[in-house]
Amino acid sequence: MLTEQCMRGLGMPYRAVPIPETSRASDRRYGLSSADDAARYGYHLPPEPLFDPHEGLSAETLSALYGRSSGSTGNPAPKGKVPPRGCRGQAVEALSSKHRYTVGAEIASDIANRSYQESRQDRRVRAAVNRWSSCMAEHSYSYPDPMASLGDKRFLGKEVTNQEIETAQADLDCKSRTWLLQIWYSVEADIQKDRIAQHSEELEKLEKAHVSKIAEARQITSQG
């Protein structure tokens, strides 16, 4: 809505195209976790649906949307001056700036990063990873941990091979037999709970900022 208002002000009517819903994100924080993905795509991510939000838009429209820094070679807008970051960038900043809480966002990001690294060193996780590695060896695969199989160079090409699918399925079978995913998740969750308790005030402020931002975004879109 804010983007469309800006574009109209430049004399360039524009209607945003709704982004189609995509398949659920494949969680790979602890390596491959979906048996369905393993059977269909191996270690590859599920394909994204074909969608081009810029289809049919002129160079002038793209330049007004994203600004000159986008590399578009369109002519100046019929009316007014295009914002430095384009109408879309201006709209995003207008909404985000009022609800931005940098301190809380940095704390949340730090908790997510540190909790993962700390959980990898936890004795319970390391024991489960070792059991997983031994299980994979029983399937004739040699990997020290799930990230090694996920990043195997043989499986980084465009095509999904039978060998990749077989390896991925063995990976999931061993995770199931060793309860690796459940153990790792539980350990990291406990670490995060401790960190969250230490920064409860900042994270509560961050949550309120997100809630208010979503509320304003809904109010804006409802006026369209």
Same domain, 81 and 122: no
Neighbouring C-alpha atoms within 13 Å toward the C-beta of 26: 19
Same domain, 89 and 159: no
Task: Please write the tens of the pLDDT for every residue from 125-177.
Answer: 999 999 999 999 999 999 999 999 999 999 999 999 999 999 999 999 999 99
Same domain, 61 and 113: no
For residue 31, being part of any structural domain is answered with no
Same domain, 117 and 222: yes
Of 43, 72, 97, the domain-final residue: 97
Of 97, 127, 157, the domain-final residue: 97
The mean pLDDT value for 193-217 works out to 93
Task: Please write the tens of the pLDDT for every residue from 85-117.
Answer: 888 888 888 888 888 889 999 999 999 999 999
Same domain, 75 and 168: no
The pTM of the full predicted model, rounded to 2 decimals, is: 0.76
For residue 14, being part of any structural domain is answered with yes
Same domain, 137 and 65: no
What's the rounded Cα separation, in Å, for the pair 32 and 173?
A: 11
Same domain, 68 and 110: no
For residue 144, being part of any structural domain is answered with yes
Q: What is the mean pLDDT of the chain?
A: 88
Domain that holds residue 113: 101-224
Task: Provide the pLDDT confidence category of residue 15 given band limits of 50, 70 and 90.
Answer: confident
Same domain, 106 and 91: no
What's the rounded Cα separation, in Å, for the pair 169 and 46?
A: 15
Q: How many domains does the chain have?
A: 2
